[in-house]
Structure 1
Amino acid sequence: MVRFENVGLRYGMGQEVLRDLTFRIEPQSFQFLTGPSGAGKTSLLKLLFLSLRPTRGLISIFGRDTSTLDGDGLSALRRRIGIVFQDFRLLDHMTTYENVSLPLRIMGRDENTYRAEVVELLQWVGLGHRMWALPPVLSGGEKQRAAIARAVIARPHLLLADEPTGNVDPSLGKRLLHLFQELNRSGTSIVIATHDIALMDQFDARRLVLHGGRLHLYD
């Protein structure tokens, strides 16, 4: 599903923040991405989401060499990827329900075909009573859960999550990880960036460890 070959990334004229990354993400796989603060986890997620291009090397996603794609081609691939950003990126003028259902609207689905699905997911993540609230009145944890619900509602082929449990209590964090596991069992490949070792220890998953700009793999 994803292949990196000798990938390097630098910002401007500075030193490479990621270098010589060579790894694969297989279909229906589950992995944690971890490492110390500043190791480059968010930068790697941006490369996976195709919002950054590498300075060098090859990135292939869904069998396509991303260096050969134009803007429309990159957008088409991104529609198969779900992502949870640390800053949530909810649209303030839309309700929680509208934010979560947005990927389905973009796909062209009629609301009658997905309304019950969105409501059920919002109830499952504890936002059933907040579905008509606007993001500015939500707490940090509620925004986090809304962003996660939006990322998973369309059942993407690849899900990327940057510290998805950082603003919720441990019990809810574990529950959200189980949601990702269920999505994984239905066929989605998962990459979760986190520094929470205790949480990772509760799940049997591959670990991608960034240190000094290089990636180490632990199955």
Structure 2
Amino acid sequence: MIRFDNVGLRYGLEPEVLSDISFHIPAQSFQFLTGPSGAGKTSLLRLLFMSLRPTRGQITVFGKDALTLDRHELPLLRRRIGVVFQDFRLLSHMTIFENVALPLRVRGKEVENYRRDVSELLDWVGLGDKLHAFPPVLSGGEKQRVAIARALIDQPEILLADEPTGNVDPPMARRLLRLFIELNRSGTAVVIATHDLGLMDQVDARRMILSNGRLDMFG
């Protein structure tokens, strides 16, 4: 589904933050991306989502060369990818329900066709009583769960999650992990960036370890 071949990334004239990165993400696979702070995990996720261009190398997404896509193709490919950002990127003027339903609205679906699905997913992440609340009144952990629900609601072909359990307590982290596992079993490839070794130990999944801008693969 996604392939990196000798990808390098630098910001401006600074040394490369990622060097000679090569790997592929098969369909329906599950992998963790880990490594020390500053290793480049967020940069790698941004490359995966095509919101950042590499300095060198080749990235292939769903059989397309990500570096030669025109402006019409890029949004269509991104719709096939669910993303949970560390900064959440919720729309403060929309309710929690509306934020989660946004990917479905973009596809032109009517609220009558997705109201139940959105409500059930918010129940699962423990926010069923906050459908009509707005993001500014939520805690950091609640905002994170809304962002996760929004990324999952349209059953993407690939899910990219940047520290998705970083602001929640251990019981909720385990619950969210079960949700990711069920999504994977239904056919979605999952990439979770995390420092949480305990979380990774709960799943038999490949580990991609970034260190000093280079990538090692285990599993």
Q: Structure 1-normalised TM-score? A: 0.99
Which whole-Å deviations, capped at 9, do the CAs of 1:1-23 have from their partners, x for residues lacking one? 01000000000111100010010
Alignment match, 1:119: 119
Matched, 1:99 2:99: yes
Alignment match, 1:50: 50
1:107 Cα shift?
0.7
| Residue identity in the other structure for 1:104 | L
Please identify runs of 4+ aligned residues in structure 1 that moved more than 6 A.
Answer: none
Q: Specify the SS of the correspondent of 2:72.
A: helix
Q: How many angstroms apart in 1 are the aligned matches of 2:24 and 2:112?
A: 39
> Which runs of no fewer than 5 residues in structure 2 stay unpaired?
none
| Residue identity in the other structure for 1:39 | A
> Which runs of no fewer than 5 residues in structure 1 stay unpaired?
none
Alignment match, 1:134: 134
Alignment match, 2:198: 198
1:202 Cα shift?
1.3
Q: How many angstroms apart in 2 are the aligned matches of 1:131 and 1:148?
A: 15
| Residue identity in the other structure for 2:206 | R
Which whole-Å deviations, capped at 9, do the CAs of 1:148-167 have from their partners, x for residues lacking one? 00000000001000000000
| Residue identity in the other structure for 2:94 | M
1:210 Cα shift?
0.1
Q: Specify the SS of the correspondent of 2:216.
A: strand
Alignment match, 1:24: 24
Q: How many angstroms apart in 1 are the aligned matches of 2:14 and 2:90?
A: 32
1:199 Cα shift?
1.1
| Residue identity in the other structure for 1:213 | G
1:136 Cα shift?
0.3
Q: How many angstroms apart in 2 are the aligned matches of 1:169 and 1:114?
A: 29
Q: How many angstroms apart in 2 are the aligned matches of 1:120 and 1:37?
A: 35
1:43 Cα shift?
0.0
Which whole-Å deviations, capped at 9, do the CAs of 1:17-60 have from their partners, x for residues lacking one? 00100101000000000000000000000000000010000000
Alignment match, 2:86: 86
RMSD, aligned CA = 0.6
**Percent identity over the alignment?**
68
Alignment match, 1:6: 6
Alignment match, 2:77: 77
1:67 Cα shift?
1.2
Q: How many angstroms apart in 2 are the aligned matches of 1:14 and 1:73?
A: 31
Alignment match, 2:33: 33
1:203 Cα shift?
1.1
Q: How many angstroms apart in 1 are the aligned matches of 2:200 and 2:27?
A: 20
Alignment match, 1:66: 66
Alignment match, 2:170: 170
| Residue identity in the other structure for 1:136 | P
Q: How many angstroms apart in 2 are the aligned matches of 1:127 and 1:96?
A: 9
Q: How many angstroms apart in 2 are the aligned matches of 1:106 and 1:39?
A: 34
| Residue identity in the other structure for 1:120 | E
1:73 Cα shift?
1.2
| Residue identity in the other structure for 1:170 | P
| Residue identity in the other structure for 2:138 | L
Q: Specify the SS of the correspondent of 1:94.
A: coil
Alignment match, 1:179: 179
1:81 Cα shift?
0.4
